Amino acid sequence: MNPLLAEYKTPFGVPPFDQIRNEHYLPAFREGIKQQEAEIEAIVNNPEAPDFNNTIVALDNSGEYLRKAGGVFYRLRSADTNDEIEKIAEELVPLTSAHNSNILLNQALFDRIRTVYENRENLSLNTEEYQLLDKTYKRFVRGGANLDETDKERLRKIDEDLSMLSLKFGKNLLEETNNYRLVIENEEDLSGLPESVISAAADAASKFGLDGKWVFTLHKPSWIPFLQYSSRRDLREQLYKAVYMCGNNENEYDNKEIIRQMVNLRIERAKMMGYENHADYMLEDRMAKEPENVYEFLMKLWVPALEMAKKESAMMQDMIEREGGSFKLQSWDWWYYAEKIRKEKYDLDEELIRPYLSLETVKDGLFMVVNKLYGLTFELREDLPVYNEEVLAYEVKDADGSHVGILYMDFHPRSSKKSGAWSTSFRQQHIIDGEFITPVNLIVMNFTRPTGNKPALLSFDEALTFFHEFGHALHSLLSECTFLTVSGTSVPRDFVELPSQIMENWAADPEVLKMYAKHFETGEPIPQDLVDKIVASGQFNQGFTTVEYLAASLLDMDYHTLSEPVDFEVNAFEASSMNRIGLIEEIIPRYKSTYFQHIFSGGYSAGYYSYIWAEVLDADAYEAFKENGLFDRETALAFRKNILEKGGSDDPMKLYVAFRGQEPTIEPLLKNRGLN
């Protein structure tokens, strides 16, 4: 029996990971496609006149087996893949791409949808129902339903090619990340590194069978502290170049040709749909609406951020010269000298914070914050199946003890896991035939591992990441929508980061830090003088942080505002893009093109700006909590009811105004980053 094609007999209907085998996936997808095809045939051949329920709702509810199979397969392909899963993915792309195209290009189905849409003013739909109808109709139009047969066939091929290229881009990055190791054999080459970093490198070496040596990899918990603390400038250069040359090494994992093809295929598709470029096509249903608004917004931040970054660069150059150095600051030096200046100017060493941010401490702090805000509790469930022994499963309960959902957490890097951090769902919340289907969520991180007899001690940035991804999970867990298409995080890209980014504010708030940051050995709360130093240094290095992010956002927009297919060279295009905005050579974009997974293998094309767009929202929203109390239940209830529970059931700005009483202003963001 294929467990993906049967009713899950597990508690809360979570996937039976202990029963699912790789050989189950392809049959489950094929059966799921067959089932949904039959459901769509039933919609199309319904003798009754098309209406909201027999067409729009029926389509939204179709494809249950496909959702189940995809809900497991795609989540594990990102978090716990292997060669067999990668081969299955390559087989699935043409299958699922063709199936999706068959739905979106089904003329008889679209005719029924269009009939309902054109009669929408007479249907007495509520807000969520109207959103479902509007999104369904526009999804079909944007999916090519109005094209002639010749263009439809070409569109099918474009979509399949883009899916395959995206798959290959991500696979190349995983291979490049796993294939690189900086092996250190002489202890003197570890000069400057804290004991915790050295210990982690020794553990990594041991896993590679290199006992007595030290290994640094391209996973962030490994390379970032090396760049921060290593006094070996030549090794910093070697490691950082390995980071930013990912996918750009003229080998079998090179991503440049993939990028060129994807950009041109996206242009062709946009043109076919009647848009000037891919950015126009993507932004139409987002808050920003059009590329000009994105560029205007980003450049408003770019000018003061670049000015601040130049001042930071000058400070570092001055320190180099004060220490007797005669070289010019380079990108592989920035992390090192930023850390030295932080220590000199604010007497703050990142390593002093880690002992107060053990993984368990931060997790308990998160649970505490969410309980104070929303009354939620989290119970570890060791009886639930997991897909990897490192994964933890929690039952989430509301203040009255009722079941909310299940949250899986996967914390540490593995060769089977892609880099970064993300939140996703095995099952979305929805209501079908009157039954409230609860969500099953997953957050995946790549945090520093435990070393020796020490637990996992997180950096301050890792703690912020934990709170961030937890915010996404809350958006899914607290959803109270009827339809899958609008539930949970099914919102525009430039709105989806609001619930995640607002959570970072509690992580960093001095009052909250003192509540949860406790020494892993003594249990002592973080000292007030250390909290004061964290606050005092809060805007330090913000020029760098903002500039590297904005540079990547503008690079994304430059690729996707190209309006004609062009035979460009990726490195030259990127250099031209960065020269145009005046990026200083001491800083590189947060993501250079060949490892810019967000836009070439992640769904954020023409959308990487979304994080800072949403920061305008989150900074403004957090002001409401600062005005009324960080844990004010009335404010938290308003945020839960108007934002977290509503998903995409209404226009995002309407949802925001319902919470805040007004549209957001940019001033809190500028103030937070010291750019005003």
One domain, residues 405 and 521: yes
Give the integer Cα–Cα distance in Å for 317 and 327.
Answer: 9
Phi-psi region of 446 (alpha: psi -120 to 50; beta: other; left: phi over 0): beta
Model confidence pLDDT, tens digit, residues 590-614: 999 999 999 999 999 999 999 999 9
DSSP 470-529: HHHHHHHHT---S-GGGSTT-S-HHHHTHHHHHHHHHHH-HHHHHHH-B-TTT-PBPPHH
Give the integer Cα–Cα distance in Å for 361 and 355.
Answer: 10
Say what percent of the chain tops pLDDT 90: 99
pLDDT at 159: 97
pLDDT at 447: 96
Model confidence pLDDT, tens digit, residues 6-19: 999 999 999 999 99
Domain boundary among 120, 146, 172: 146
pLDDT at 350: 87
Q: Give the long-range contacts of residues 298-301, CB within 8 A, separation 24 or more.
A: 298/550, 298/553, 298/554, 298/557, 298/609, 298/612, 300/666, 301/546, 301/550, 301/612, 301/670, 301/675
One domain, residues 118 and 219: no
* Packing angle, helices 331-346 and 233-244, rounded to 10: 120
Asked if the structure places residue 259 within a domain, the reply is no
Model confidence pLDDT, tens digit, residues 475-492: 999 999 999 999 999 999
Give the integer Cα–Cα distance in Å for 466 and 464.
Answer: 5
Q: For 504-525, give one letter per residue: b (16+ CB within 10 A) or e.
A: bbbbbbeebbebbbbebeeeeb
Across the strands, what pairs with 427?
A: 440
DSSP 115-131: HHHHTGGGS---HHHHH
pLDDT at 209: 96
One domain, residues 185 and 137: no
In the chain, the number of structural domains is 3
Give the integer Cα–Cα distance in Å for 70 and 482.
Answer: 21
> Does 341 have pLDDT greater than 90?
yes
One domain, residues 136 and 227: no
Asked if the structure places residue 638 within a domain, the reply is yes
Q: The dihedral of CA 249, 252, 253, 259: what is its sign?
A: positive
Q: CATH number, domain at 391?
A: 1.10.1370.40
% helix, strand, coil for the chain, step of 5: 60, 5, 35
Q: What is the mean pLDDT of residues 581-586?
A: 98
Asked if the structure places residue 569 within a domain, the reply is no
Give the integer Cα–Cα distance in Å for 50 and 355.
Answer: 62
Instruction: Give the distance, in angstroms, between the CA of residue 292 and the centroid of all CA atoms in the same chain.
Output: 24
DSSP 315-382: HHHHHHHHTT--SPP-HHHHHHHHHHHHHHHH---HHHHGGG-BHHHHHHHHHHHHHHHH--EEEE-T
Contact by Cβ (8 Å): 418, 445? no
Contact by Cβ (8 Å): 515, 365? yes
pLDDT at 416: 95
> Does 417 have pLDDT greater than 90?
yes
Helical spans, DSSP H, in 273-290: 278-283
Kind of pairing, strands 214-216 and 182-184? antiparallel
Give the integer Cα–Cα distance in Å for 115 and 100.
Answer: 21
Give the integer Cα–Cα distance in Å for 88 and 72.
Answer: 13
What is the layout of strands, in order, in the sheet containing 403-410?
Answer: 377-380, 392-397, 403-410, 440-444, 422-427
pLDDT at 676: 84
Judge if pTM exceeds 0.85: yes
Quick one: DSSP state of residue 454? B
What tokens were used for 235? 């090794």
Give the integer Cα–Cα distance in Å for 417 and 173.
Answer: 11
Quote the domain boundaries for residue 223: 180-244
> Does 578 have pLDDT greater than 90?
yes
Helical spans, DSSP H, in 180-290: 195-207, 220-229, 233-244, 256-272, 278-283
Residue at 504: amino acid letter:
E
One domain, residues 393 and 522: yes
One domain, residues 442 and 509: yes
Q: What is the mean pLDDT of residues 324-328?
A: 97
From the CB of residue 163, how many other CB atoms can be counted at a distance below 10 Å? 17
**Residue 452 pLDDT level (bands cut at 50, 70, 90):** confident
Q: Can 323 be counted among the known catalytic residues?
A: no
Q: What is the mean pLDDT of residues 635-660?
A: 98
One domain, residues 393 and 494: yes
Q: What is the mean pLDDT of residues 355-380?
A: 98
One domain, residues 216 and 136: no
Q: Which residues are within 8 A (CB) of 349 and not within 5 positions of it... i.e. 6 or more apart?
A: 339, 342, 343
Q: Which residues are within 8 A (CB) of 138 and not within 5 positions of it... i.e. 6 or more apart?
A: 285
pLDDT at 568: 96
From the CB of residue 666, how many other CB atoms can be counted at a distance below 10 Å? 16
pLDDT at 382: 97
One domain, residues 77 and 214: no
**Residue 440 pLDDT level (bands cut at 50, 70, 90):** very high
One domain, residues 84 and 138: yes
**Residue whose C-alpha is closest to residue 598's, from 493, 499, 505, 491:** 493
One domain, residues 376 and 481: yes
Domain boundary among 244, 262, 288: 244
Residue at 160: amino acid letter:
E
Q: CATH number, domain at 54?
A: 1.20.1050.40
pLDDT at 563: 97
pLDDT at 211: 96
pLDDT at 13: 98
Residue at 517: amino acid letter:
A
Residue of 339, 395, 469, 586 with catalytic role:
469
Asked if the structure places residue 529 within a domain, the reply is yes
**Residue 354 pLDDT level (bands cut at 50, 70, 90):** very high
Domain boundary among 244, 272, 288: 244
Model confidence pLDDT, tens digit, residues 163-193: 999 999 999 999 999 999 999 999 999 999 9
One domain, residues 482 and 617: yes
pLDDT at 653: 97
Q: Is 631 exposed, middle or buried (0-12, 13-18, 19+ CB in 10 A)?
A: middle
Count the residues in the chain. 676
